[in-house]
Amino acid sequence: MPPDPNAAEIPDEWVKELAASGALCQVCGGVHLVSMDQLILVTQTNRLTGAELPWCTCPRCPDCGPWKDTASATAERLLRERREKQPR
């Protein structure tokens, strides 16, 4: 999917922090899903900036492992619940 031209930019210092922590995939550039901390960080960044940080999309990623599917499902649920709670 092409990037949204209207999306907010992620501050460079945040990207550097993610990269330094090993959270960014060296292959696809997405955020590894290896812990609830990573999920919270990405969700908070999305909420605070309006930017959408991409998840790691590498099949069978050795860093994400099976946690990726669980985290992805959890993230979708949290985002859906947040949208449902927001006033229209």
pLDDT tens-digit readout, 27-69: 888 888 777 777 777 777 777 777 777 788 888 888 887 776 7
Look at the chain and report how many structural domains it folds into.
1
> Whole-prediction pTM value?
0.51
> Is residue 13 a part of any domain in this protein?
no
> Is residue 7 a part of any domain in this protein?
no
Counting Cβ atoms within 10 Å, is residue 71 exposed (0-12), middle (13-18) or buried (19+)? Answer: buried
Report the alpha-carbon distance of residue 59 to residue 67 in Å, rounded.
13
Report the alpha-carbon distance of residue 31 to residue 10 in Å, rounded.
13
Taking residues 7-14, report their average pLDDT. Answer: 71
Q: To the nearest whole number, what is the mean pLDDT of the chain?
A: 75
> Is residue 6 a part of any domain in this protein?
no
- pLDDT confidence of residue 4: 53
CA distances from 29 to 2, 35, 55 (A): 14, 17, 8
Give the count of beta carbons closer than 10 Å to the beta carbon of residue 78: 13
> Is residue 75 a part of any domain in this protein?
yes
pLDDT tier, 1 (very low <50, low <70, confident <90, very high otherwise)? very low
**Contact by Cβ (8 Å): 40, 29:** no
- pLDDT confidence of residue 6: 61
| Selected residue with higher pLDDT from 48 and 71 | 48
> Is residue 11 a part of any domain in this protein?
no
> Is residue 5 a part of any domain in this protein?
no
> Is residue 62 a part of any domain in this protein?
yes
- pLDDT confidence of residue 2: 45
